[in-house]
Amino acid sequence: FQPKLLAGHRVLVTAGPTFEALDPIRGITNHSSGKMGFSIARAAREAGAEVTLIAGPVHQTTPRGVRRIDVMSALEMRDAAEREARSASVFVATAAVADWRPASHSEQKIKKDGSGQPPVLHFVENPDILATIAQSARGRSGELFCVGFAAESENLAEHAKAKRARKGIPLLVGNIGPLTFGQDDNSLLLVDADGVRELPRAPKLQLARELIAEIAVRLPATKPT
- Contact residues for ligand C5P (CB under 6 A)? 14, 74, 93-95, 97, 126-130, 148-150, 163
Q: Which is nearer to ligand C5P, 27 or 148 (CB)?
A: 148
Is 155 an active-site residue? no
Neighbours of 157 (CB within 10 A): 16
Q: How near is the Cβ of 163 to ligand C5P at its closest, in Å?
A: 6
Q: How near is the Cβ of 149 to ligand C5P at its closest, in Å?
A: 4
Cβ pair 130, 169 in contact under 8 A = yes
Cβ pair 216, 197 in contact under 8 A = no
Neighbours of 221 (CB within 10 A): 4
Q: Which is nearer to ligand C5P, 8 or 68 (CB)?
A: 68
Q: Which is nearer to ligand C5P, 52 or 126 (CB)?
A: 126
Q: Which is nearer to ligand C5P, 42 or 163 (CB)?
A: 163
Closest CA to 87 of 140, 41, 32, 43: 140
Choosing from 30, 126, 175, 186, the catalytic residue is: 30
Q: How near is the Cβ of 112 to ligand C5P at its closest, in Å?
A: 32
Q: Where are the beta strands (DSSP E) in 152-203?
A: 171-175, 185-192, 195-203
Cβ pair 50, 92 in contact under 8 A = no
Q: How near is the Cβ of 127 to ligand C5P at its closest, in Å?
A: 6
Catalytic residues: 30
